[in-house]
A = this chain, B = another copy of it.
């Protein structure tokens, strides 16, 4: 695994746990973790349970006892690492967004298609697909429970940078993160919107905005103490979007609205998706991740209503491997499911989903949003 911070910790928990809960054809062995800082990487290896560690990620690719490379770094390094790993014949699980540019993503997708011919697999980490409630939602749509989907309403609302004194971390720098709310959280809802409906976005019309132009340098704000009003705090330019809003049209005739923002005060991780179809609707909010609201429009109006389904039954996706009904799962379980699916696919020679091509398609949507924003919000083909 390359990278050991927030995403790394979540992935490590998944690698440790998946075979303890699911019946897998192969058992993951946590060989080595790579990071930039020797001390931090060593500590992470010990904490997270990796047998070894290194500060040179390339050495990982040379090891015969490494079969899978899990890329958990910022987006600017995904292309280089994934291409090298695939080139070395390693299966690759790469965090989203697939890359910081469409060009990189195209290269990666091409490499993945090529590698696949040699039985080397790859997947991009749109882990929210593994939320039981959303996997159940997809089944509902697929079996026609919603009829023709008319509306997609996809929001991802957070509030962690509302305070202008919050420092200029790497996620706020375009050269590292590629984009801001758009790529970090907007990418998730774009993927989900397409995956849940089974439709692809063909056009988007949108707008990116920034509410706070400069922020204290991260180094200058250790401990995140309040620095507002102090003249001597060194600041830097925020180079990504704080919020992205856009409309979309799909190849299935649905009309979609998207909103990704880090300025929705009070919303901590409100990834919300609502689909309205000719025969029914569904609504989800990650802040209540074990629930799915489902409306069956074929029931007489007198008895109809949104049904709050607790997606914790034995026959719900993933849920059966865990606890009894009503005993909910948490955020990290989506990663456990991702590892379980990936290991099973790789071991059985099945193409994992989402593929790098799926990641590329999302990247193209994000790119079209940026182009639309530059062009005055006009409809822009993906």
Contacts and interface: CB of A to CB of B under 8 A. Distances in A.
Interface size class of A (residues with CB under 8 A): 35 or more
A294 interface: yes
The count of identical subunits is 4
A315 to B, nearest CB: 5
A206 to B, nearest CB: 8
Given A16-B16, A329-B330, A331-B323, A255 B243 contact: yes
Given A304-B307, A331-B328, A264 B281 contact: yes
Contacts of A268: 310, 312, 324-327
A269 interface: yes
A309 interface: yes
A346 interface: no
Interface in A227-268: 243, 245, 247, 253, 255, 257, 259, 261, 263-268
12 contacts: A136-B302, A151-B243, A266-B281, A266-B295, A288-B288, A289-B328, A302-B315, A303-B307, A323-B332, A329-B330, A329-B331, A330-B330
B312 A303 contact: no
A294 B150 CA distance: 27
A269 B243 CA distance: 28
B207 A255 contact: yes
A287 B305 contact: no
A301 B325 contact: yes
Interface of A: 6, 10, 12-13, 16-17, 20-21, 47-49, 136, 146, 150-151, 153, 155, 157-160, 162, 205-207, 209, 211, 243, 245, 247, 253, 255, 257, 259, 261, 263-270, 276-281, 286-291, 294-295, 297, 301-310, 312-316, 322-333, 375-379
Given A207-B247, A268-B326, A323-B10, A259 B257 contact: yes
Nearest to A146: B265
